[in-house]
Amino acid sequence: MLARAGIDPTPLRLAVAGVLVDEARALAAGDILALVRRKRQANKVTLYRILDLFVERGLARRHSSGDRAQRYCLEPGFSGRPHCHAYCVRCGRMECLPAAVGLVDVAALGPMLAMDVTAVEVRIDGVCARCRRQAPPGGAAVDVGPGNS
Question: Under the rule (CB under 5 A), what is the footprint of Zn ion?
Answer: 26, 73, 88, 90-91, 96, 128, 131
Buried/exposed 114-138: b ≥16 CB within 10 Å, e otherwise? eeeeeeeeebeeeebeeeeeeeeee
With respect to Zn ion, which residue has the nearer C-beta, 38 or 133? 133
With respect to Zn ion, which residue has the nearer C-beta, 21 or 112? 21
- Report the nearest approach of Zn ion to the CB of residue 88 (Å): 3
- Report the nearest approach of Zn ion to the CB of residue 136 (Å): 13
- Report the nearest approach of Zn ion to the CB of residue 80 (Å): 11
With respect to Zn ion, which residue has the nearer C-beta, 44 or 130? 130
Give yes or no for a contact between 1 and 78, defined as CB atoms under 8 angstroms apart: yes
Q: Which helix (H) or strand (E) holds 123?
A: strand 123-126
Backbone torsions φ then ψ of 59, nearest 5 degrees: -85, -40
